[in-house]
C-alpha cells in the first residue's frame, strides 16, 4: 500500500476527536470547522475500511474496531512527537497535554502538595488530573495513564507498581477506652467496625489479616459503610468504630495520637498503587517524567513501609 499523507492527517483528527470528546472541541483545537472534522473522519473510515466512531447527536464513542485502531496508532503518534522533539534538540523538554485518571485520595494526599513545583519545572506541559473512582476505558476517555490503588485489570493495559502500603487496623483512644481493645483479630466480632465500599463491586472490602504465611479472613460486623476515605478516617477518629486504613496518608494521624494501631503484630496485609498505561510501547516523555516524579514522591513511603514489615 503506497504512503498516503491524508491517512496520517485523518489519524491525527481521530485522535483529537477522541481526546476532546466532541467534534466541536476537536475542531476548535485543530483550527478546523466541525464539518471539516467530520469529513476527515469519514475519509479515514473509508480508507481503513471500517467504522471507527459511533456518533449520535449527543455522544461519540469508539467502536471495537476503532478502539483497536487507537491502541495501535496512538503510541506511534507519541513516537512521532518525541522524534520531532529530538530532531529539534528538545529531548529534555516535556510538552503538550498530559491527562491522568487518578484516585481522588492519592491526588489529595500526595500529588496536591507538590504540584506547584512539578508544573514550575515543566512550564510547557498542561497537566489534567481527573479524579475517578474507577479506571474505566483509558483509550476511549482520552487518558495517557492512570494512578489506581488495587490490582490492575488483567487485559488490555500495562501496569507498573509504584507502592505497597501496609493496611492498618485502627481505632480512636476514646473508642478503645469505652469498648476495650481487641487482643486478636477474631475479637472484632464483638466490636463496631466501619466498612469501606469497593467502587468496582459496590460491596465492602473484605478484611484479611496476614502474619508471615498465616492468613486470617474476618467477617467483621459493621454499622457504617462509606465510599470516601477521609469520611472513614474522620468517623474513626470520632469513635464511630474500628476501621482499616492505608498507612500511606495516616502516619501523621497516628503520630498525633488520634488513632491507634490495634494489631501491629499482624503487619503482612498490603495494598498496591499502580501506574497504568494503555500500551507498553512508545510511552511519551511527559508520561515517563510524571511517573518518575510520582516515584520520587513515594520514595520515602516505600522505605518506611519496608522498614515496618521487617
Q: Would you state the pLDDT for residue 195?
A: 95
SS3 assignment, position 13: helix
Residue 94 CA from chain centroid, whole number: 21
Beta strands 193-196 and 222-226, pairing class: parallel
Q: Greater confidence, 211 or 155?
A: 211
**Does residue 143 have a pLDDT over 60?**
yes
Query: Residues 67-81, buried b or exposed e (16+ Cβ, 10 A)?
Result: bebbeebbbebbeeb
Average pLDDT, the chain: 84
pLDDT digits (tens, 9 = 90+) for 187-196: 999 999 999 9
Q: Would you state the pLDDT for residue 181?
A: 96
Does 5-88 match 96-163+272-309 in CATH topology? no
Q: Greater confidence, 168 or 91?
A: 168
CATH of the structural domain 96-163+272-309, one choice from 3.40.190.10, 3.30.565.10, 3.30.70.1900, 3.20.20.70: 3.40.190.10
- Angle (deg, nearest 10), helices 5-20 and 64-87: 110
Residues in the chain: 310
* Max Cα distance, the chain (Å): 79
Topology, domain 165-269: D-Maltodextrin-Binding Protein; domain 2 (3.40.190)
Q: Would you state the pLDDT for residue 256?
A: 96
How much is the average pLDDT of 171-182? 97
Integer Cα distance of 281 and 247 in angstroms: 33
SS3 assignment, position 246: strand
Amino acid at each position: 500500500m503506497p504512503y498516503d499523507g491524508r491517512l496520517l492527517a485523518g489519524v491525527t483528527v481521530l485522535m483529537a476527536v477522541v481526546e476532546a470528546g466532541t467534534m466541536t472541541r476537536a475542531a476548535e483545537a485543530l483550527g478546523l470547522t466541525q464539518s471539516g472534522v467530520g469529513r476527515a473522519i469519514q475519509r479515514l473510515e473509508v480508507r481503513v475500511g471500517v467504522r471507527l466512531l459511533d456518533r449520535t447527536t449527543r455522544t461519540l464513542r469508539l467502536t471495537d474496531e476503532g478502539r483497536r485502531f487507537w491502541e495501535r496508532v496512538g503510541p506511534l503518534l507519541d513516537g512521532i512527537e518525541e522524534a520531532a522533539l529530538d530532531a529539534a534538540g528538545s529531548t529534555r523538554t516535556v510538552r503538550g497535554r498530559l491527562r491522568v485518571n487518578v484516585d481522588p485520595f492519592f491526588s489529595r494526599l500526595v500529588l496536591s502538595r507538590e504540584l506547584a513545583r512539578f508544573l514550575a519545572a515543566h512550564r510547557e506541559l498542561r497537566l489534567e488530573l481527573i479524579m475517578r473512582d474507577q479506571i474505566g476505558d483509558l483509550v476511549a476517555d482520552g487518558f495517557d495513564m492512570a494512578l489506581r490503588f488495587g490490582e490492575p485489570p488483567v487485559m488490555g493495559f500495562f501496569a507498573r507498581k509504584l507502592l505497597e502500603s501496609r493496611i492498618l487496623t485502627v481505632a480512636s483512644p476514646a473508642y478503645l477506652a469505652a469498648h476495650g481493645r481487641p487482643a486478636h483479630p477474631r475479637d472484632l466480632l464483638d466490636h463496631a467496625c466501619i466498612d469501606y465500599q469497593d467502587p468496582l463491586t459496590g460491596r465492602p472490602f473484605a478484611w484479611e489479616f496476614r502474619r508471615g504465611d498465616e492468613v486470617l479472613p474476618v467477617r467483621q460486623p459493621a454499622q457504617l459503610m462509606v465510599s470516601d476515605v477521609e469520611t472513614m478516617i474522620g468517623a474513626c477518629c470520632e469513635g464511630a468504630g474500628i476501621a482499616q486504613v492505608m498507612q500511606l496518608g495516616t502516619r501523621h494521624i497516628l503520630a498525633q495520637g488520634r488513632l491507634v494501631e490495634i494489631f501491629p503484630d499482624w503487619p503482612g496485609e498490603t495494598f498496591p498503587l499502580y501506574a497504568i498505561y494503555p500500551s507498553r510501547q512508545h510511552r511519551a516523555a511527559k508520561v515517563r517524567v510524571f511517573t518518575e516524579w510520582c516515584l520520587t514522591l513515594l520514595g520515602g513511603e516505600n522505605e518506611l513501609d519496608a522498614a515496618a514489615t521487617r
